[in-house]
Amino acid sequence: MKVFKLPDLGEGLQEAEIIEWRVHEGDEVKVDQPLLAVETAKAIVDIPSPQAGRVAKLFGKKGDIMHLGAPLVAFEGANDDTGTVVGQMPQMQPTQPSIPSARPAPAGHIAREVSMRGVVAPGAGARAPSIKATPAVRALARTLDIDLAMVTPSGPDGVVTSADVQRTAKLLVELGPPEELRGVRRAMAQNMARAQSEVAAATVIDDADIDAWPPGTDVTIRLIRALVAGCRAEPGLNAWFDGRAARRHVLAHIDVGIAVDLPDGLFVPVLRDVAHRDAADLRAGLDRMRADVQARKIPPEELRGATITLSNFGMIAGKYAAPIVVPPTVAILGAGRIHDGIVAENRQAVVHRILPLSLTFDHRVVTGGEAARFLAAAIADLRALD
């Protein structure tokens, strides 16, 4: 048999969840015919057949997470019982999901414990404190399938006791089976763990007085323009940083990752070369990207390569935050909820429209002065009339 294995799905994509098989064992397939749909951290894609032939065996079932290089389909054939099918993998195209993606539990239900196995970034665990437990307690935890890191110790000097393990096991039984993180949420957990492990994050906050804005001003477009102004004042925030080699790459083009919150999780599509596009073009690009993200058919290449990130979380709630910088980028600008605030004008108290801003930066490579100057330039642009 000739075995076709899960191919490289693109930058940073090492696994995929089987959403639906398009073929069955015994089927005759043609070159480029879709074999299965998989969900990655980026999108849902159809994987086409690299050859024509009869399907002898399917590896994996719906819901299985397959890793890069894992066998997917065996084709009938001779002289090759283990290898990947010869030939270049055809270009995969995003596909709209034909079945609903998993949704979070309805509001009001008891929150389930979330399994975090396999989502901690390399090196993240090195900073965790050691867990104090006797060999007998550790054996009990293995028997009950309890991660000791989840157990609150009650023994002397923070020692985990058998009663602690049994209490946690009872609680998990009452909560019900855990929800395994998949797809976008799994990738989000991995990225956040990596960011927490690698980035020396610092945040500076301030307010922009936007009372001069005319009615109907497009907030997101103005934020993008302000971010461009900040990058022009301090180009070092529009950069990638390789922490292992201690090398910084200051980038010429400003490609903004726009955080989009959906029930499936957090997506960050990338709006390219924003400094050289007008407002109408940027708005059209934003609308198209959001529609593609909601339909889960955005191309994977449009979800990578951001040079700096914008999070307009104030559209939901909140004034200030400490948004997370995800490597290799070094900065993210967060915009809070626009509200009425009292400001001094000609030594009189007046009410103006205020836009709170939070800029988180990687202090390994960005100084506090650079971050403050970036924010000052962004605020000055937001205060402008046009």
Give me 278's structure tokens. Answer: 């007008």
Least confident of 250-254, 280-284, 300-304, 321-325: 300-304
What is the model's pLDDT at position 276? 95
Give the Cβ contact number of residue 186 at 10 Å.
Answer: 22
Give the Cβ contact number of residue 347 at 10 Å.
Answer: 5
Q: What is the mean pLDDT of residues 285-295?
A: 89
Return d(Cα 324, Cα 59) in angstroms, integer. Answer: 38
- CATH class, 200-383 region: alpha beta
Task: Write out pLDDT tens, residues 44-94.
Answer: 788 899 999 999 999 998 888 888 889 999 998 754 544 454 433 444 444
Reported in sequence order, the residue ranges of 158-255 that DSSP labels E, i.e. its strands, are: 159-160, 179-180, 201-209, 239-242, 247-250
Give the residue extent of every domain in the chain: 2-94, 120-179, 200-383
- What percentage of the chain reaches a pLDDT higher than 90? 53
What is the model's pLDDT at position 97? 35
- Contact criterion met (CB below 8 Å) for 187 and 41: yes
Question: How is domain 120-179 classified at the CATH fold level?
Answer: Dihydrolipoamide Transferase (4.10.320)
Confidence tier at 19 by pLDDT (50, 70, 90)? confident
What is the model's pLDDT at position 63? 85
Decide: residue 355, CB within 10 A, 0-12 exposed, 13-18 middle, 19+ buried: buried
Q: How many CA atoms lie within 13 A of 161 on its CB side?
A: 8
Domain 2-94 has CATH 3.40.50.1100: no
Is the whole model's pTM more than 0.75, yes or no? no
Give the Cβ contact number of residue 12 at 10 Å.
Answer: 14
Q: Of the ranges 157-166, 286-295, 359-368, which is most confident?
A: 359-368
Return d(Cα 8, Cα 20) in angstroms, integer. Answer: 19
CA angle at 265 for the pair 6 and 65, rounded to the nearest 5°: 25
Give me 170's structure tokens. Answer: 């009872």
